[in-house]
């Protein structure tokens, strides 16, 4: 049986026993979780707990010198330790990162970058793609450089480009962290639309330290602390009955921030 035809039982992502050492130090310890087709799952945790290393393991972009063990199956294909170029089509992952400015070439107009990224795409296709993330006025847009867009516009463009991938798994690592709250809402709407309306079987792994943001988008939550998965629950369950002491602190802090009982004067 080839990797592409391996059985996956509706699982878009299955991580088992994932363990990672960076410069000889264990940073991720025995992670086990899975994501179903059409599901939006968040990976929550404080800065430095290992979220991005987990994402990079799944995407295949770990830095040199990292030792990895365990199993990562994307659409049933084992990809643990494989960079994207070594993967079959089914094992590749669409990605969106926090820093949209580094995802685009600062010295090239957006029109030229779009033509390079999507050779052969018609003007109509490009217009529809940009409209789907709320970007309009293609001729003016195409003549601009990345620095001439706002952070939110750049991020929406990155999401639109990621959506061009036929991959059924999208990983977004802190895509809204650098944005103001209104822009954040817009990007969350775009992500929701990209999964629900554009490709309903697409699964999303949304990485954030912000439980309030995650709650707006995701149905299921995974919580990490110090390289370990400490809780896995539906978002409703997590918000109403957090089990692990770290999750309890996270949820209570988010609730206090959202609903202040008194205002300092």
Ligand X SMILES: Nc1ncnc2c1ncn2[C@@H]1O[C@H](COP(=O)(O)OP(=O)(O)O)[C@@H](O)[C@H]1O
| Residues near ligand X (CB under 6 A) | 22-23, 27, 45, 47-53, 63
Contact 13, 212 (CB under 8 A): no
Stretch that binds Mg ion, among 46-54, 117-125, 215-223, 238-246 (CB under 5 A): 46-54
Beta strand pairing call for 220-225 and 11-22:
unpaired
- Residue 52 contacts Mg ion per CB under 5 A: yes
Closer CB to Mg ion, residue 52 or residue 153? 52
CB of 184 to Mg ion, least distance (A): 17
Q: What is the DSSP letter of 196?
A: I
CB 16 within 8 A of CB 32: yes
Cβ distance to ligand X smaller for residue 45 or 91? 45
Nearest to 86 by CA among 169, 171, 3, 204: 3
**Of ligand X, Mg ion, none, which one sits near residue 53, judging by CB under 5 to 8 A according to partner kind?**
ligand X
Rg of the chain, C-alpha, whole Å: 19
Using Cβ positions, the residue closest to ligand X within the complex turns out to be 52
Q: How far apart are CA 143 and CA 21, in angstroms?
A: 45
Smallest gap from Cβ 74 to Mg ion, in A, equals: 20
Nearer to ligand X, 15 or 130 (CB): 15
Q: 185: how many CB neighbours lie within 10 A of its CB?
A: 15
Q: Which is nearer to ligand X, 49 or 235 (CB)?
A: 49
**Residue ranges that bind Mg ion, judged by CB under 5 A:** 51-52
């Amino acid at each position: 049986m080839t990797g592409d035809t391996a059985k996956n039982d509706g699982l878009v992502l299955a991580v088992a026993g994932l363990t990672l050492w960076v410069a000889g130090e264990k940073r991720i310890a025995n992670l086990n979780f899975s994501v179903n087709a059409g599901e939006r799952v968040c990976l929550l945790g404080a800065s430095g707990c290992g979220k991005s290393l987990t994402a990079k393991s799944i995407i295949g972009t770990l830095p040199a010198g990292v030792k990895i063990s365990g199993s990562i199956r994307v659409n049933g294909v084992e990809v643990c330790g494989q960079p994207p170029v070594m993967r079959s089509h089914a094992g590749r992952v669409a990605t969106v990162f926090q820093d949209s400015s580094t995802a685009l070439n600062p010295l090239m107009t957006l029109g030229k970058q779009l033509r390079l990224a999507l050779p052969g795409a018609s003007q109509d296709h490009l217009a529809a793609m940009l409209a789907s993330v709320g970007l309009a006025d293609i001729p003016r847009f195409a003549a601009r450089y990345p620095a001439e867009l706002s952070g939110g516009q750049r991020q929406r463009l990155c999401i639109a480009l990621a959506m061009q991938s036929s991959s059924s798994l999208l990983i977004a690592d802190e895509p809204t962290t650098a944005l103001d709250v209104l822009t954040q809402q817009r990007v969350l709407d775009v992500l929701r639309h990209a999964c629900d309306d554009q490709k309903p079987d697409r699964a999303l792994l949304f990485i954030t330290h912000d439980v309030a943001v995650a709650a707006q988008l995701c149905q299921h939550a995974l919580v990490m602390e110090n390289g370990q998965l400490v809780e896995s629950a539906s978002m409703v369950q997590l918000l109403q009955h957090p089990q692990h002491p770290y999750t309890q602190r996270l949820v209570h802090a988010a609730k206090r921030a959202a609903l202040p009982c008194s205002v300092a004067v």
